Amino acid sequence: KNEVEQSPQNLTAQEGEFITINCSYSVGISALHWLQQHPGGGIVSLFMLSSGKKKHGRLIATINIQEKHSSLHITASHPRDSAVYICAVYTGNQFYFGTGTSLTVIP
């Protein structure tokens, strides 16, 4: 049983498509993070949020605390968005990570 579940595990999209990655968690949290990891590369933090919605460029992250659910949206997807997207939650003293969603955007 994982504290953080992501879906889908793998996602292939055509360039320009709108993409949604989902994250559900089972623990009480003080913050949720969305991370991006390129193959062979390091991890970059995209968003940290505890309520509502945040937007950065073509990326939008939302969270519903009552439903224990968050979504990461990518508008007008581009091949350079191809990466693994990881959801992580912070309970106040521990971090739990999802196994990631591998996104491939085809030109």
Partner 1 sequence: DTGVSQNPRHKITKRGQNVTFRCDPISEHNRLYWYRQTLGQGPEFLTYFQNEAQLEKSRLLSDRFSAERPKGSFSTLEIQRTEQGDSAMYLCASSLGVGTQYFGPGTRLTVL
Closer by beta carbon to partner 1, 13 or else 48: 48
Residue 90 contacts partner 1 per CB under 8 A: yes
Give the list of residues 6+ apart from residue 7 with CB closer than 8 angstroms, or none: 21, 22, 24, 101
43 binds partner 1 (CB under 8 A): yes
Instruction: Pick one of 25, 33, 61, 83: the residue that binds partner 1 (CB under 8 A).
Output: 33
- Which of 10, 26, 30, 51: binder of partner 1 (CB under 8 A)? 30
Could you say which of 1, 14, 39, 42 contacts partner 1 (CB under 8 A)? 42
The C-alpha atoms of residue 59 and residue 68 are separated, in whole angstroms, by 20
Burial of 61 (0-12, 13-18, 19+ CB in 10 A): buried
How far apart are alpha carbons 19 and 105 in whole angstroms? 10
Structure tokens at 92: 């106040």
User: How near is the Cβ of 100 to partner 1 at its closest, in Å?
Assistant: 5
Kindly list the residues in this chain that would bind partner 1 in the complex (CB under 8 A): 4, 30-31, 33, 35, 42-45, 48, 86, 88, 90, 93-100
